[in-house]
Amino acid sequence: MQNTSVLMTGIGGQGIILASDILADTALRMCWDVKKTDAIGMAQRGGSVVSHIRMGKTIYSPLISEGGADILLGMEKLEAARSHRFLITGGKVLINKYCSPPLSSSGNEVAYPGDDAILSLFEQQGAEVFFIDGLEKVEKLGNTRTLNIFLLGALSVLLPFSREAWEESIRSKLPFKIIDINLEAFSLGREAVENAGIS
Amino acid sequence: MDNLQQLTAGSRVLLSGNEAIALGAFHAGLKVATAYPGTPSTEILETLVKFDGIYGEWSTNEKVAVEVAMGASYAGVRCLSAMKHVGLNVAADALLSASGTGVKGGLVIVSADDPGMHSSQNEQDNRHYAKLAKIPVVEPYDSQSAYDFIRLAFEISEHYDTPVLFRTTTRVSHSKSVVCTKEPFKKIDENPQFVFDPEKFVMLPAYARKRHVVVEERINKLKEYAESCVLNEVIEGDKNLGIITSGISFQYVREVFPNASILRLGMTYPLPEKLIREFSTGVKKTIVIEELDPFVEDIVKSMGIEVSGKSFIPITGELSPEIVASCACQAGLLEWEKKEGTVSEISLPQRPPSLCSGCPHRGLFYTLARHPRRRKKMTSSSSNQISGGLVITGDIGCYTLGAYPPLLGLDTCACMGAGIGHAVGMEKAGVDDKLLAIIGDSTFMHSGMTGLANAVYNKSRITVVILDNMTTAMTGHQGHPGTGVTASGKESIPVDLEEVVRGLGVQKVKVIDAFDVKTLGNEVKNAIESEQLSVLIVRGECPTAKSCLNTSYAVDTNECTRCNACFRLACPAIQHRGEEVYIDPGLCVGGICGLCAQVCPVGAISIPGKGVAE
């Protein structure tokens, strides 16, 4: 097992903490050592959220250093861009095509970056970038709160964990009533990446 | 969440440091747990109340929490009190008294420090309290050690008749790592009883003098214990460099110096002098790597042992593997190259924390920002003094976020409950401004009542606004005496804020709706201009306490004149989409708020179809 670090970023309310808990739990089920740490801003909602997940044989620091993340999962475009320095040269980036302008941007001080600017930021690092329209997919499912699990499905294609371990972990972390719809979202997320041909 | 109570010995689970502390305490036979919520400590009590056989409470403040725990300890049961670092300042009187009396049942005080100030007003290093109180301090470095060490902490407490300070940091409390569970301790005493012993429990000078001798003997015995206790561990390595470390810094040291000799201290007070001397003579050079103050470093230096640490490791902020590596590199201890990206930076908009959409505090801050006296104050400076403004003093809570632009609604924020005292102080100093203190409902219970009684007694004429959102919101909706719901979810008698305020002697008291802009404007004006001490209780429920499925407000773009009046509310749901003003339906809480509809001068904001569909 190769030490693997995943950075998840987004904004409060998107379910990042639950998603990173499921990833860490899946790694544990695969008998990897794992540590995770979350940086949550002061706001209950709307603030930046960053989750560091490190997995491997023996993990010491829970924090990922700059240039140390193998994969970046950005649930919001601006927050994905903000964390670009964490990505390893040639790393992989999954960005959910969702834009939530912060207050300062609402007041038109610094413009919200366009997709091209974000893409070129990562391409300079030799990264493989994949934009996914997660919201559109989960809207069809009828529950937009499954977005985090959809994106985990997408992420799962890039990690060497068995589908069973992922699904067991999802079952263990979610209330019974919403397990089926989330497993469906997970499958859709997998397909989105598999169809795009990156792995 | 996994059911922690059912875990059998030998289970491997992923736990946060705080969950591990709770599980370890449960397995150690904990009976009574007390806390006041505060990041990063809150989840300890939240986890503990889920276990059968543990009584857990949100106490009014940290001092009360420690006092309740002391009482339980005197009755012979194991007890724990958890708080954030600054909470221990509030509880310091109780802590130092507990050091004097000692314990019966094990008494562990958990202090969760916040290096880097993720959610705090300072980054004090609470290990100093152990030295001050002459009690041991135990520092875990991950979840497994948090679980193991807390079990041992109870035994140390009882064996040495001392409270134990258990010090974590944000990175330990909030990181998750694997914990392998052990056999729970056997239940010790099922029949708690208080045994008459005034020489131990009544700190009259005559008895306290004798206890001080006991305390000094105790710390000497603990020094002996430190030499061989399992909390401290030597990891043999390369003899060129020896590193003394503790807490999360230990993890960074292991990562950055995989081959060095390491002395990992799990008990950082009192220190094992012989062990440290032996360790440092066995290596060519000894350094100390610790977060915040040179606590260990200074004591080691006072032993006459040559070490360095803070000459190259920062004293401010949180450490990280990167910081440790680059500082060690600059000090010539390590060859390290920063992974320089070739990336050209682009300027990205910041996302500062803000009051949530639907926040019941927003209306008040909007009202204050629009008040003529406030606008006067905000244009004044030291070279351009304008009299007759409005000064707003405050403290700690969600409402501290009202200090950010464009609301700019706080002039002071120091510690819990401070705003009322600050306003009285400025009044007594003789400032020519009107004075208004803002405090939350939970904070008022915590430490506002005494300040208000003081204001009444000393004939103050300030205005106090209690923002009553009926919960402790900042830390994630914990109960407090005003909510009428206990930590374990049981109904209790809600302490009536209005009655308390009247009972303290305030004659001018008004309760107003937090979402009614017009009434807010009138009542704030009346209170400020009044020659009497006035209290306004601004009441509105926190929208994040429950899930709202209301239909959101929307902007009629044909009516909207793009005057941007609604942006003065600083609501995250109100955004620009190109030229147009747009309300994000995913963020807007709908009907319970409606501030934007009230402040729009042309009536362009409403809930679509309201009055027809509903």
8 Å CB contact of B176 and A105: no
Cα gap A98→A132, rounded to integer Å? 9
Let me know: does A123 contact A102? Beta carbons within 8 Å. no
Whether B117 has its CB under 8 Å from any CB of chain A: the answer is: no
Identify all chain B residues contacting A18, using CB atoms and an 8 Å cutoff.
none
Identify the pLDDT of residue A143. Answer: 86
Percentage of chain B exceeding pLDDT 70:
97
Identify the pLDDT of residue A199. Answer: 52
Beta carbons within 8 Å of B529's beta carbon, 6+ residues apart: B434
Picking from B176, B344, B398, the nearest residue to A24 by CB comes out as B176
Q: Where are the alpha helices (DSSP H) in B402-487?
A: 418-429, 441-443, 449-457
Å from A122 to nearest chain B CA? Answer: 8
Res B195 pLDDT > 50: yes
What domains can you pick out in chain B, each with its CATH number? 4-228 (3.40.50.970), 233-330 (3.40.50.920), 362-545 (3.40.50.970), 554-606 (3.30.70.20)
**What is the phi-psi region of residue A42: left when phi exceeds 0, alpha when psi lies from -120 to 50, beta otherwise?**
alpha
Q: Which residue of B has its CA nearest to A90?
A: B341
Whether B579 has its CB under 8 Å from any CB of chain A: the answer is: no
Write the burial class of residue B3 (CB in 10 Å: 0-12 exposed, 13-18 middle, 19+ buried): exposed
8 Å CB contact of A106 and B346: no
Whether B121 has its CB under 8 Å from any CB of chain A: the answer is: no
Identify the pLDDT of residue B614. Answer: 34
Which H or E run includes B522? helix B517-529
Cα gap A153→A151, rounded to integer Å? 5
CATH number belonging to the domain at A4-196, selected among 3.90.79.10, 3.30.365.10, 3.40.920.10, 3.30.56.10: 3.40.920.10
Whether B12 has its CB under 8 Å from any CB of chain A: the answer is: yes
Which range is most confident: B186-195, B333-342, B467-476? B467-476
Identify the pLDDT of residue A45. Answer: 58
Q: Which of the four pLDDT bands, split at 50, 70 and 90, describes residue B307?
A: very high
Q: Which of the four pLDDT bands, split at 50, 70 and 90, describes residue A36?
A: very high
Å from A113 to nearest chain B CA? Answer: 7
**CB pairs A-B closer than 8 Å:** 155
Q: What is the full DSSP assignment across B255-299? A: HH-TTEEEEE-SEEES--HHHHHHHHHTSSEEEEE-SSS-HHHHH
Cα gap B46→B37, rounded to integer Å? 9
Mean per-residue pLDDT, B215-230? 98
Q: What is the pLDDT of residues B414-463, one digit of tens each?
A: 999 999 999 999 999 999 999 999 999 999 999 999 999 999 999 999 99
Beta carbons within 8 Å of B425's beta carbon, 6+ residues apart: none
Beta carbons within 8 Å of A160's beta carbon, 6+ residues apart: A1, A30
Q: How many CA atoms lie within 13 A of B359 on its CB side?
A: 30
- The closest of B516, B610, B568, B592 to B358, measured between CA atoms, is B592
Mean per-residue pLDDT, B483-502? 97
Let me know: does B273 contact B299? Beta carbons within 8 Å. no
Whether B490 has its CB under 8 Å from any CB of chain A: the answer is: no
Name the DSSP class of B448. Answer: I
Where exactly are the structural domains of chain A? Answer: 4-196
Identify all chain A residues contacting B344, using CB atoms and an 8 Å cutoff.
124
Tokens of A60: 């010491």
Pairing between β-strand B233-235 and β-strand B260-264 as defined by DSSP bridges: antiparallel
- The closest of A136, A159, A176, A135 to A54, measured between CA atoms, is A159
Cα gap B290→B241, rounded to integer Å? 16
8 Å CB contact of A33 and B574: no
Identify the pLDDT of residue B340. Answer: 61
Identify all chain B residues contacting A37, using CB atoms and an 8 Å cutoff.
171, 174-176
Res A42 pLDDT > 70: no
Q: What is the pLDDT of residues B23-59, one digit of tens each?
A: 999 999 999 999 999 999 999 999 999 999 999 999 9
Identify the pLDDT of residue A105. Answer: 53
Integer distance in angstroms from the first to the last C-alpha of chain A?
A: 17
Whether B382 has its CB under 8 Å from any CB of chain A: the answer is: no
Q: What is the pLDDT of residues B154-173, one digit of tens each?
A: 999 999 999 999 999 999 99
8 Å CB contact of B476 and A24: no
Cα gap B550→B539, rounded to integer Å? 20
Identify all chain A residues contacting B171, using CB atoms and an 8 Å cutoff.
37, 62-63
How high is the ipTM of this complex? 0.94
Å from A102 to nearest chain B CA? Answer: 5
What angle (nearest 5°) sits at the alpha carbon of residue B164, between those of residues B181 and B307? Answer: 95
Backbone angles phi, psi at A12, to 5 degrees: -55, 140
Q: What is the pLDDT of residues B266-302, one digit of tens each?
A: 999 999 999 999 999 999 999 999 999 999 999 999 9
Identify all chain B residues contacting A107, using CB atoms and an 8 Å cutoff.
406, 567, 576
| B 14-43 near A (Cβ less than 8 A) | 14
Res B188 pLDDT > 80: no
Q: What is the pLDDT of residues A159-168, one digit of tens each?
A: 999 999 999 9
Picking from A28, A65, A101, the nearest residue to B575 by CB comes out as A101
Backbone angles phi, psi at B358, to 5 degrees: 80, 5
Mutate to test the interface with A, among B18, B176, B574, B589 (most CBs of A within 10 A): B176
Q: Which residue of A has its CA nearest to B397?
A: A42
8 Å CB contact of A59 and B576: no
Q: Which residue of A has its CA nearest to B255?
A: A60
Pairing between β-strand B605-606 and β-strand B554-555 as defined by DSSP bridges: antiparallel
For the packed helices B372-379 and B362-370, what is the interaxial angle rounded to 10 degrees? Answer: 70
Q: What is the pLDDT of residues B245-256, one digit of tens each?
A: 999 999 999 999
